[in-house]
Amino acid sequence: MSFLQRLFSGKTHRIFKWLATDMHSHLLPGIDDGSPDMPTTLHYLTELEALGYQKVITTPHVMRELYPNKPNDIKALAAKVNEEITAAGLKIKLEASAEYMLDDGFDALLENDQLIPIANRYVLVEMSYVAPTLNYENTIFKIQAQGLIPILAHPERYNYLSMNDFERIKSLGCLLQVNLLSLVGYYGKHTQAMGQQLVQNKQASFLGTDLHHSRHLEALKGISSHSKLVRLIENTEWLNAKL
């Protein structure tokens, strides 16, 4: 690697090193639409470590119909991945949580203590991209009534939500997590504009990779060429590093 390449790659890695912890990804092998197998999982973890992340709290989908993943299965699989991490000599730390769809199975999970919160206190939730979950405000309250803090995953990707809705959701006690790739236009112009506004207005508390596959990984590597964006992210306080 030449001096210039090293200089550039140092810059490339800066933002991920600085965020330290990623708290939204689909890296556990074969249990959702993310990594299909253990070698792929190890490859993604190797790349995330090379980018500068020190810790990954991975969040497989939990959806009643499509991915009814149980806490014990998630934990057992994470333990297997951790064995592989050790065997491969990687330094990155892996923990497991989940990304919970606010569907008609969610209330039962919450009431029966079947959630794996991030850092024992945050619950990452998502809604359909087509329409909001009925009574989602009520669910936000119920999560908090259990002593947990809800985080809405990628609010900028729900086209039916406005900046006013984000304000309202935040005022109800739900934190917001923006996808890094939204900010560089990966999901289209509208999502990019909403994501950038959320960051500029300091309404988002977390940034996540939402890594599912290698196209996401390649796009993540390109983020640092957006120097204005990198500065904006670095001038904002994120809860990632506190996880």
Binding site for Fe ion (CB under 5 A): 99, 210
CB of 106 to Fe ion, least distance (A): 15
The residue among 24 and 55 lying less far from Fe ion, judged by its C-beta, is 24
> What is the CA angle 140-27-199, rounded to 5?
50
The residue among 12 and 186 lying less far from Fe ion, judged by its C-beta, is 186
> What is the CA angle 215-219-220, rounded to 5?
115
Q: How far apart are the C-alpha atoms of 220 and 232, rounded to whole Å?
A: 16
Q: How far apart are the C-alpha atoms of 140 and 4, rounded to whole Å?
A: 49
Q: Do 88 and 114 form a contact (C-beta atoms < 8 A)?
A: no
The residue among 12 and 58 lying less far from Fe ion, judged by its C-beta, is 58
The residue among 22 and 210 lying less far from Fe ion, judged by its C-beta, is 210
The residue among 55 and 61 lying less far from Fe ion, judged by its C-beta, is 61
Contacts 24+ apart (CB under 8 A), 84-88: 84/38, 84/41, 84/42, 85/42, 85/45, 88/42, 88/46
48 CA to centre of own chain: 13
CB of 15 to Fe ion, least distance (A): 20
The residue number whose beta carbon is nearest to Fe ion equals 210
CB of 107 to Fe ion, least distance (A): 21
CB of 42 to Fe ion, least distance (A): 20
β-partners of residue 152 are 125, 176
CB of 96 to Fe ion, least distance (A): 14
